[in-house]
Structure 1
Amino acid sequence: MADGQVEEQIVSLVDVLEEDEELEEEASAVLAGSDSDHCSYPQGYVKRQAVYACSTCTPRGGEAAGVCLACSYKCHEGHHLYELYTKRNFRCDCGNKKFTDLQCKLFPEKEEVNSQNKYSHNFFGVYCTCSRPYPDPDDQVEDEMIQCVVCEDWLHGRHLGSEVPDCVELQEMICEACMNKNLFLWTYAAHLAVPGTDAQQKEETEADKSNTNKEEKDDDVVEPSCKRSREEAEPSCRLKELQALDQKRVQSGAVFWPSGWRSKLCTCITCKESLSEAGVSFLSDESDTVLAYENKGKTNEQTARGNDPLMSALDNLNRVQQLEIIHGYNDMKTELKDFLQRFAAEGKVVTPDDIRQFFEQQQSRKRQRVDAGGFFST
């Protein structure tokens, strides 16, 4: 085999390993922030964790329920599960009164219901305003799903009522329904949100009018000095200041927010109380974001894993050994992919026993394989 061919295959293996590492990081972003061995119920309403819904135990038409990562492995093996990504302030339901025929194996001493949990149609495997499953076998349109940071539903990009901006993975989205439930957000949107084409034009027009009116008022009105002194002594409300500017934005469609926008929300006592009453206090918490949770999961996984010995060991092997590894790795990767696709097609969770059985079969096949000549470098 020519040297050029050998080097090309070696680079290919490195690329594959790096790609696999990226996939592992994506999984770690969601799963490493959750405990895979212990039910999260004793922790109460966890700030953010991976949540699953079991259609085998709680089918559509019944009560919605969600289970933690560990219970999805230990208590619902072989069941049909919906992966709901992450949910905030959620407490594991596994084995409570919503599960008539199942007792939690990890923490059976649960209250009958978790009254503070919030549920949506996601728990029955449908998403967006169109209430369709994902992936949708009847949908031929390639479209991304984006999660609203308030209701946490996933919506198709084409059903948001607004243009999806570039670098959307670094932004947060609030759907139109949640914006209209919390009208004060439109004031912030006019100043803080990522502008759409139509919205930007509207903003610029209204801003010009506002500045003109403000200049005219400043020429005509002189405030008493005592009034200004009292106002300066009192804590200012950022929301009222923005409302006073009277800068408008078209109030329709989903709104996208840039990184760090939460830190610019008003934190005065009145606004904090309003956020609490509306049930959206989490908006003032930057650590509530999915991105913060994902980064925590990646960091935890990298700390636990340390340096990858496979990548460092590869450079210390001769070419024959490298080619043997390439051959075996590619075979294993293909077979593992086929193995996992069967679980995905049936909606089943892959358990440690399933993985152990797979590698036992691999080892058995390796012992039975007859090497007809191996690889030689020329």
Structure 2
Amino acid sequence: MEEESEVMTIEEFLENQEAEEESADLVFGGDEGKECTYNEGYMPRQAVFSCLSCAPQGNAGICTACSLACHDGHEIVELWTKRNFRCDCGNSKFGGKDCKLWKEKDAENKENAYNQNFVGLYCICHRQHPNPEDEHLGEMLQCCICEDWFHEAHLGLLSSEKVPRDEDNEPLFDELICQNCVGRCSFLFRYQELLIPPGIPDETHPVEQSETSTEAPANVAVEQTMGSKAEKSDALTSGKKEEGSVSNGVSDVAGCSQSSNSICKLKPANVNAETGNCFGKALFLERSWRTSLCQCDSCVELYKTRGLSFLLDKLDTLQSYEALAKERRKTRMEQAEGASMKLLNNLDHVAKVEFLHGLNDMTSELSSFLVSGDFRDTGKTVTSADVYEFFDRLKKRRKL
């Protein structure tokens, strides 16, 4: 019974293999993990890891290559991707342990930002992930501003609301902004067409609201709901602190009208009337919403003041990051194919003919084997006995 649970159809194996490779490429941005990224500076976005064996305080991050070459066997936390980050491996935070891939590094990367994720904690509930006991809290979703991850049940939504998804349970939104960052992005309430309202829960599949959720009252500024959580975040953060905290909600947004060099897209409006009771819960944004943001001088200065200039950087988006990963994957596969052809072309005529005949025999035999065994058409599983049988048949054919 144990052996049967491990077998799979050839179609399933090939599909799983392809999916796993592509998924890894998307997370790692096509980075093969051979070189430390330190020399590339503060990258717009890259895969980042934390080593709790070397930096248990969670105040350091390392690139893919260093996680493999310098921290193999250590307690590693995979953080997915982070923006504007430079590899810390081997600097002053690692107690004299040099980076094996790039030894000459600054003592500290002052522009790096760290949060609770670097010690393996997430969400406003400050729990580890994955955690089987948290499945009832829904999927973990990442805020595009602070880049922390949040359970669906901890996004500040009312019990009558849910994360907007389609019939196939796929997100209807491009990115989300957590309730802790909404005040910092209050100008977005001037772009009502870019906001997607929460959906209505399906009564047959409710997402439970945890007791740890800190839902904010209507019209209360975010800073009033964070309390000790903000202090914990500051304690974990070293390097560059977040700029542009909002002390009075949205009153400063209405001053954006016309600058000396460009005209603002936004018209003066009663912003408080538009926001309603949206403070204290997450915002869901339309696809490609960043391209609709005003880029007049006043708005650009506003983004800069609040530490949000990255919103105008196309390389900051996950779409750009994943597009680059796919392009690198395509190039790598083409290079691999090219290397195979180069190897074949370097063979003499006799060796080349023998190689092609051998390849043709194996392909033909494999095709016949799959057809005779009804593996592809019926979804029949391939066992170890089938594999041995195939190679026995191949050996016998070569002797003929």
Report the counterpart of residue 143 of structure 2 in structure 1: 148
Question: Paired residue for 1:85?
Answer: 80
From 15, 19, 36, give the equivalent of 1:18: 15
Q: Are the counterparts in 2 of residues 36 and 70 from structure 1 also a CA contact under 8 Å?
A: yes
Query: Take 2:138 and 2:361, find their aligned partners in 1: how far apart are those partners?
Result: 39
Q: Please list the CA deviations of residues 268-293 of structure 1 after superposition, one character each: whole Å capped at 9, or x if unmatched.
A: 00110110111111112333111221
SS, match of residue 168 in structure 1:
coil
Q: Give me the whole-angstrom Cα distance separating, in 1, the residues matched to 2:361 and 2:310.
A: 46
Alignment partner, residue 238 of structure 1: 265
Question: What residue in structure 2 maps to residue 168 of structure 1?
Answer: 171
Note the C-alpha offset of 1:35: 4.9
SS at structure 1 position matched to 2:94: coil
Match of 2:27 among 19, 26, 30: 30
- The answer on 1:250 being equivalent to 2:277 is yes
Q: Deviations over 1:303-330 (max 9, x none)?
A: 3114999xx989943455448998xx96
Distance apart, 1:26 and its partner CA:
1.2
CA contact (8 A) 1:52 1:81 kept: yes
Paired with 1:289 and 1:29, the residues of 2 have a C-alpha distance of: 13
**Within 5 Å, which residues of 2 pair with 1:184-199?**
184-188=187-191, 190-196=192-198
Q: Tell me the equivalent position of 1:49.
A: 46
Which residue of 2 is the match for residue 125 of structure 1?
120
Aligned to 1:178: 181
Between structures 1 and 2, the one with greater helix share: 1
The 8 Å contact of residues 29 and 294 in structure 1, kept in 2 or not, is answered as: yes
Letter in 2 for 1:253: K
Report the residue type matching 1:143 in the other structure.
G
Residues 74, 197 of structure 1: alpha-carbon distance in 2 compared, 3 angstrom cutoff: closer
| 1:75 counterpart residue number | 70
- Deviation of 1:80 after TM superposition, in Å, equals 1.0
Tell me: CA distance 1:247–1:317, structure 2 relative to 1, closer, same or farther (3 Å).
same
Letter in 2 for 1:192: L
Residues 1:109 and 2:136 are matched in the alignment: no
Q: Specify the SS of the correspondent of 1:82.
A: strand
Q: Deviation digits for residues 74-130 of structure 1, max 9, x if unmatched?
A: 000111100000000000000111101521001111111111000000000010111
Which residue of the partner structure matches residue 264 of structure 1?
292
SS of the aligned residue for 1:85 comes to: strand
Q: Is the 8 A contact 2:173 2:285 kept in 1?
A: no
Give the direction of change, closer, same or farther, for the CA distance of 1:323–1:259 in structure 2 (3 Å limit). same
Normalising by the residue count of structure 2, what TM-score does the alignment of the two structures yield? 0.64
Are the aligned partners of 1:260 and 1:286 in contact in 2 as well (CA < 8 Å)?
no
* Counterpart Cα distance in 2 of 1:192 and 1:372: 59
Which deviates further from its counterpart, 35-44 or 66-75? 35-44
The one-letter amino acid of 2:284's match is F
Equivalent-residue separation in structure 1 for 2:372 and 2:291 (angstroms) = 54
Q: Residue 44 of structure 2 contacts residue 315 of structure 2 at CA under 8 Å; is this kept in 1?
A: no
1:179/1:186 contact within 8 Å kept: no
What residue is the counterpart of 1:58 in the other structure? 55
Indicate how the Cα distance of structure 1 residues 307 and 92 shifts in structure 2: closer, same or farther if over 3 A, else same. closer
CA distance in 1, matches of 2:79, 2:320: 18
Which moves more between the two structures, 291-300 or 85-94? 291-300
Greater displacement, 284-293 / 172-181? 284-293
Relative to structure 1, the CA distance from residue 83 to residue 234 in structure 2 (aligned partners, 3 Å threshold; closer, same or farther) is closer
1:294 equivalent to 2:293? Answer no
Q: How far is 1:24 from its partner?
A: 1.4
Distance 1:29 1:79, change over 3 A: same
CA gap 1:165/1:373 in 2 versus in 1, 3 angstroms? same
Task: Tell me how far apart the structure 2 counterparts of residues 258 and 44 of structure 1 sit (CA, whole Å).
Answer: 31
**Structure 2 segments unaligned to the other structure (5+ residues):** 1-7, 201-257, 338-358, 376-380, 395-400
Q: Distance in 1 between matches of 2:260 and 2:308?
A: 29
- Work out the CA distance in 2 between the residues paired with 1:17 and 1:308: 18
Structure 1 stretches (4+) deviating beyond 4 angstroms?
Answer: 231-234, 241-246, 312-316, 323-326, 329-332, 369-375
CA distance change for structure 1 residues 371 and 287 in 2, over 3 Å: closer, same or farther?
closer
Highest relative contact order (Cα 8 Å, sep 6+), 1 or 2?
A: 1
| AA of the residue aligned to 1:68 | C
Q: Percent identity?
A: 37
| Cα gap change, 1:373 to 1:63, in 2 (>3 Å) | closer
CA distance 1:279–1:142, shift in 2 (3 Å): closer
Counterpart CA distance in 1 for 2:259 and 2:29 is 48
In 1, the alpha carbon distance for the partners of 2:196 and 2:9 equals: 40
Partner Cα separation in structure 1 for residue 267 and residue 107 of structure 2: 44
What SS class does the counterpart of residue 273 from structure 1 fall into? helix
* TM superposition score normalised by structure 1: 0.68
Q: Alpha-carbon deviations, 1:229-266, whole Å to 9, x = none?
A: xx899732123456689644432311111111111111
2-side partners of 1:314 and 1:44: how far apart? 51
Q: Is the 8 A contact 1:147 1:153 kept in 2?
A: yes
Shift of 1:153: 0.3
1:317 aligns to what SS in structure 2? helix
